[in-house]
A and B are shown apart, each in its own frame.
Chain A
Amino acid sequence: MLYFVAAASLGAQENSAGAGLSACVFAVVDLSDSGENAQFQQIIREQLELELSGAGFETVPAARWQAARDQLGYGDLELTEGTKAIAVGEALDVQVVVTGFYRIEGGRIVLELKAYDVLQRAFITGVLRTGTVDLSMYTLIDTAVARMLPEIRLFSVDPGSIDAQQVKEITLFSQDEDAEVYLAGEQFVGRVRQGALTLPYFPLAVGSTIRVVTRKDGYYPHEQEIAIREPRVEETLKRLTRRTRWATELTWTTNQLLGFGLAQRWYPLPDILFLALEHDFYLQHGLTAADRAVIHNDLKLLVGGYPFSPVDAAFRLGLSSGLGMIITYFTLPDQPVFTDFYWSVINTFIEWNFPRLTIFLGSEMKYAFGIGKNLLRRGIAGEGPFVSLGAMWKW
């Protein structure tokens, strides 16, 4: 089995023993309009091969990778695409492929180099440099190659030779299928498949820690430190928090317990700022034979947010405010309809967040304007705040 390490990027101890590891440096394609700068292709390639050899990699001769390239029907330019470069690398049975291009125009050079992990079919690292076309260009090439090397300093290790105090295997469990996992915040190490990801080998000492960042489209990235306490580590990643754009609420509120509320939230700033349109429908009934239901329809438009809570916190405190009106009518024919306009002065709520569901407890204070044919008159409505228990489905 082949294991890899990105020791430098993790700040762990370096190991320069690269026995048995091979790398292939493809042509660094000249994308300049004129062909007069083609000589830099060779310079850059040789520099890369030199550095890789120095790091213990066995590099593939040009004739061999060109044959494999031709066999797959690719040209040099196509090898600047990661998938094709990896395909040639697989054909060559190498562990790392390096590709890139440069363009010289108006006395300036743009150089981009990329390295891929063939086994993991993953992007390891890339570097983009610009500079002037003069002697300093050689320094630019050197620094670009030097920038990449620490991250592709990979080597094969026989698991049986791993020191007892070194990590043998790190397996991460996650409920976020297809989430991308990055080490040290930037080095991609794989995707979660079927609830787990086994990391490539890292020569880490037991007792150290690593920092893992999990990313997935539509979710907030999460950074997590994992303590390495034994040679085989199994760790569950915290479930990622979905970016909420829309949410539907169902609420149950004091002073209006014979009914319910429905609200639709829209977050122009996901999980930070929302607009909500709410409709509370409830009956007023004295629960005696003398009573007949009176119907209240409470419509309100609120703007709210979470000024004090991070987006991925399990418990979040929020505030909102807005305007509303309560339309009241009797269940008897030919009776008047009353309308109470009000200011929803301040709503405070605390949310308990699950991946798609939120349970919340909120308190609302209404100030009635007392205009038109109304029932509440001007002033604070009710003898105390309206307290709501609710559930919210987010998407």
Chain B
Amino acid sequence: MVRRLVARRLLPATLAAAALLSLATCELFRMSAFPGFLSRVVVARDLGGQIDSLVDRYGDEWEGQVRVLRDAGGEDYVFVLVRVFGSTRLITLDSDLNVLGTFDDPSLGSRAMVDASNRFVIGKVVLNNPPSSRNALSAPGGSDDPGFASGGANFVLGVDGGVSPDELRYEEFDDAWTSLDPPESVPIDSVIRLDNWNLPLVFFDPVAAGKEVILVLNNWASGIFEIVFTPAAAYESGSLTGDVVAYPSFEISAWDIQDISYTRRGIVVSTWDRSLTVYDFLGVPRQGLQEEINTRNEIRQAYDMDGEYFYYFDKTERFLYKGLTGWPEL
């Protein structure tokens, strides 16, 4: 009788629970108080040993960036740049996040490129391949001026704000970083946004024929980013034309953009509110590829060129994560 009583009272509760479960989507099972990307991590590396001594006394008042560069042989390397009150440190790692080297140099900067000799250039510092040692060469231009290498030549780009409309300036160097030609300049946008441009990032993808050089132009006055796809051959021949924004491009309007990365699966735009969106090359957000990075930590992001792996630098905990994006190819 007791069992019958219990069964009679438990049955409705069990049925209700089953009904709730049947309504539950996979999303419920994915929910976690922890950062969602953890389950896609394939390697995690504590960089505290490389960073702590430099930044500990400054609290959060330091900047960390991460970039991924693919050499001519298709090997990826990771570069973590730490800047704090006059000191700059670079930590280089292979794609398994094994630390290859640590470099302190004030001429390090946000420029990150593979040069024409298959070396790595971070700021003005030239590193050998693999990047466990530095080369005696020093790259020209400002340490934050982006660049790329194509056709056996190195190119350094920047914005000439001394004229109106602002112009995109690029200069060609040989593989020993000797200038080959005087800088060339073309207007960026002589119609809508004449001035107030800067060029924080340039990506180079040798496989993306006809749109190999991807410029990330920022008009800081209007808060827009212009992603422009330009052919490398135009730089090599000095035939790049203005307006630059007339090349295939799209615009992203946001004031809180944190990182922009080019991948073959789309342009990844992350914001300081810890969310990211993947845009196709026409500027349309890819369906299902809007993600929240569920953490209170400050995460800086970079991706391999294929868009297969993410590299998250958790500045707060000084951890570097490599993980699978899981994104479908375009």
Interface residues of A in 330-363 (CB under 8 A from B): 330, 332, 335-336, 352, 354-355, 357, 359
**Total A-B contacts with CB atoms under 8 angstroms apart:** 97
Q: Is the CB of B255 closer than 8 A to any CB of chain A? A: no
Give bound CA distance, A257 to B21, whole Å. Answer: 11
Q: Is the CB of A191 closer than 8 A to any CB of chain B? A: no
B1-34 interface bits toward A, Cβ cutoff 8 Å, 1 = contact, 0 = none: 1100010011001000100000010101111111
Binding stretch for chain A, among B148-156, B199-207, B317-325: B317-325
Which residues on the A side are within 8 Å of B6 (C-beta)? Answer: 354, 357
Q: Is the CB of A135 closer than 8 A to any CB of chain B? A: no
The residue that B31 contacts in the complex, of A254, A293, A354, A357, with Cβ under 8 A, is: A254
Task: Tell which of A254, A255, A284, A382 has the most Cβ of chain B within 10 Å.
Answer: A284
Give bound CA distance, A256 to B325, whole Å. Answer: 22
Q: Is the CB of B257 closer than 8 A to any CB of chain A? A: no
Task: Tell which of B24, B29, B36, B46 has the most Cβ of chain A within 10 Å.
Answer: B29
Q: Is the CB of A162 closer than 8 A to any CB of chain B? A: no
Name the residue of chain B whose CB is nearest to the CB of A375.
Answer: B34
- Is A289 touching B326 in the complex (CB atoms < 8 A)? yes
Q: Is the CB of B38 closer than 8 A to any CB of chain A? A: yes
Give bound CA distance, A205 to B43, whole Å. Answer: 84
- Is A296 touching B297 in the complex (CB atoms < 8 A)? no
Give bound CA distance, A300 to B326, whole Å. Answer: 34
- Is A336 touching B44 in the complex (CB atoms < 8 A)? yes
Give bound CA distance, A148 to B296, whole Å. Answer: 76
Interface residues of B in 290-325 (CB under 8 A from A): 294-297, 316-317, 319, 323-325
Say whether, besides A330-B44, A355-B2, A286 and B30 are in contact (CB < 8 Å).
yes
Give bound CA distance, A103 to B33, whole Å. Answer: 74
- Is B43 touching A335 in the complex (CB atoms < 8 A)? yes
Give bound CA distance, A234 to B157, whole Å. Answer: 97
- Is B295 touching A375 in the complex (CB atoms < 8 A)? yes
A367-395 interface bits toward B, Cβ cutoff 8 Å, 1 = contact, 0 = none: 00000011111110111001001000000
Q: Is the CB of B41 closer than 8 A to any CB of chain A? A: yes
Give the B interface residue count (CB, 8 A).
37
Give bound CA distance, A375 to B316, whole Å. Answer: 10
Minimum CB–CB distance from A33 to chain B (whole Å) comes to 56
Q: Is the CB of B42 closer than 8 A to any CB of chain A? A: yes
Name the residue of chain B whose CB is nearest to the CB of A376.
Answer: B33
- Is A377 touching B34 in the complex (CB atoms < 8 A)? no
The residue that B40 contacts in the complex, of A255, A257, A291, with Cβ under 8 A, is: A291
- Is A284 touching B2 in the complex (CB atoms < 8 A)? no
Name the residue of chain A whose CB is nearest to the CB of B297.
Answer: A377
Give the A interface residue count (CB, 8 A).
41
- Is A381 touching B43 in the complex (CB atoms < 8 A)? no
Q: Is the CB of A287 closer than 8 A to any CB of chain B? A: yes
- Is B41 touching A290 in the complex (CB atoms < 8 A)? no
Give bound CA distance, A366 to B33, whole Å. Answer: 10
Name the residue of chain A whose CB is nearest to the CB of B294.
Answer: A383
Say whether, besides A328-B34, A376-B34, A290 and B40 are in contact (CB < 8 Å).
yes
Give bound CA distance, A292 to B324, whole Å. Answer: 10
The residue that B41 contacts in the complex, of A254, A330, A374, with Cβ under 8 A, is: A330
- Is B326 touching A292 in the complex (CB atoms < 8 A)? no
- Is B316 touching A255 in the complex (CB atoms < 8 A)? no
Q: Is the CB of B35 closer than 8 A to any CB of chain A? A: yes
- Is B316 touching A286 in the complex (CB atoms < 8 A)? no
Name the residue of chain A whose CB is nearest to the CB of B45.
Answer: A336
The residue that B296 contacts in the complex, of A287, A354, A377, with Cβ under 8 A, is: A377
Give bound CA distance, A95 to B140, whole Å. Answer: 119
- Is A377 touching B42 in the complex (CB atoms < 8 A)? no
Which residues on the A side are within 8 Å of B316 (C-beta)? Answer: 377
The 6 A-B pairs with the shortest beta carbon distances in the complex, nearest first, are: A290-B326, A382-B33, A290-B324, A377-B296, A291-B39, A381-B33
15 contacts between A and B (CB under 8 A): A255-B31, A255-B33, A257-B29, A284-B34, A285-B39, A286-B326, A291-B39, A292-B39, A292-B40, A292-B41, A294-B38, A328-B34, A332-B43, A354-B10, A389-B17
Apart from A332-B41, A376-B34, 7 more pairs, CB < 8 Å: A254-B31, A258-B29, A286-B40, A290-B323, A291-B40, A292-B42, A383-B33
